[in-house]
Amino acid sequence: MRTVEWDAGTVKMIDQRLLPTEYKVVTFRDVEGVATSIREMVVRGAPAIGATAAFGLALAAHTSAAADVHALRRDLEAAAAQLRVTRPTAVNLFWAIDRMLDRAFNDDLDTVEAIRHTLQVEAQEIADEDVRVNRRMGDIGQEVIRDGDHILTHCNAGALATVDYGTVLGVVRAAVEHGKSVHVWVDETRPRLQGARLTAWELMRDHIPCTLIADNAAGHLMRTGKVDIVLYGADRVAANGDVANKVGSYKLAVVARENGIPCFCVSPTSTIDMSLAHGDDIPIEERDPEEVTVIRGQRIAPEGVPVANIAFDVTPHRYLSGIITERGIASPPVGLSLRRIMGAGPA
């Protein structure tokens, strides 16, 4: 199934906290449950979070007891407020909520039923569009992959981080579909281990050769010529091309530059936030210290040790060879290319 789906007045998603040991689909019947699922990372990855929030708002409309459009719109604003505070960095969350509210507040909708129906259709369109966009990005991005390449990636920017197909893994899948043989170095990605648990699982299911490494091994592999290209996703891209992604991405880009290895970010335009001038303006999520001190119920650090669980970092645009989007590759100077791609600057 897709990472997240609407199913007869419920929202279903794969519980990513349990993979790879258990594949379980969980069902949510109210927006509170959907908000919790995003906060607790049942579902994660910027595009998947956006689609989930959209389905959450469709669900809020579906379950609302409002008798008129004004009351329903008030319920939707309250639901949106609950969803907005779940995760701060992935801009797709806010992009999808704003898109849904925009539809709900359309003056042409003058019945509760019309708003409910419109939101369900819009959420489904956000989800379907994500899959189309990933396919398109894959087709465009696979051109930077050569036959025989060893690709290094971080975190999970696969089908599970999106509605389906993936951004980085979409590029990898498209390269394979074009007949190229590739091998992927998979960073385990502490503390939540999205690489070890999710990326390795996806690649193995697709029979794409991969090797799991401890995060700290990436520099050695790059210095010794074992990596041809680095690809990672984005949670938010600023207008100048600075990229916020899973913590550890910045280090990879710097070491890639030091070793003359191209480093691309793969990001749909829904992750590009033209309202922020620089990466320094991107809010960086800090999460529960226990994600660092406890692994699957097992404490690995002394009780009470101070912890900084910083979930994302920012790669300054100068370290990127380009940003692969569904509208083309933004090449350096990335800020200028993004303005063109986003239609906000000279054509």
Count of residues in the chain: 347
Q: Which of 187, 235, 242, 313 is catalytic?
A: 235
CB nearer to ligand MRU: give 103 or 197.
Answer: 197
Output the CA–CA distances (angstroms, integers) from residue 249 to 121, 179, 212, in the order listed.
36, 28, 16
Least distance (Å) between residue 55 CB and ligand MRU: 17
CB 264, min distance to ligand MRU, A: 13
Binding site residues, ligand MRU, CB under 6 A = 44-47, 90, 155, 157, 161-162, 167, 194, 232-235, 245-246, 311
End-to-end CA distance of the chain: 39
Residue closer to ligand MRU, measured from CB, 118 or 271: 271
The CB-of-317 to ligand MRU minimum distance in angstroms stands at 17
Q: Which residues have C-beta within 8 Å of that of residue 237, sequence separation ≥ 6?
A: 243, 244, 265, 267, 271, 272, 273, 323, 338
User: Least CB distance from residue 233 to ligand MRU, whole Å?
Assistant: 3
Residue placing its CB nearer to ligand MRU in the complex, 47 or 241: 47
Q: Which of residues 171 and 334 has its CB atom nearest to ligand MRU in the complex? A: 171
DSSP annotation of 310: B
User: Residue of minimal CB distance from ligand MRU?
Assistant: 233
Nearer to ligand MRU, 49 or 341 (CB): 49
Give dist(CA 184, CA 203) in Å, integer: 8
Helix, strand, or coil here: 11? strand
Q: Is 164 a catalytic residue?
A: no
Reduce the DSSP state of residue 340 to 3 states and report it.
Answer: helix
Q: How far is the CB of 319 from ligand MRU (least distance, A)?
A: 16
Taking the C-alpha atoms of residue 266 and residue 260, their distance in angstroms, rounded to an integer, is 19
* Residue 336: φ, ψ to 5°: -65, -45
Identify the helix (H) or strand (E) that includes residue 232. strand 229-232
Residues that are catalytic: 235
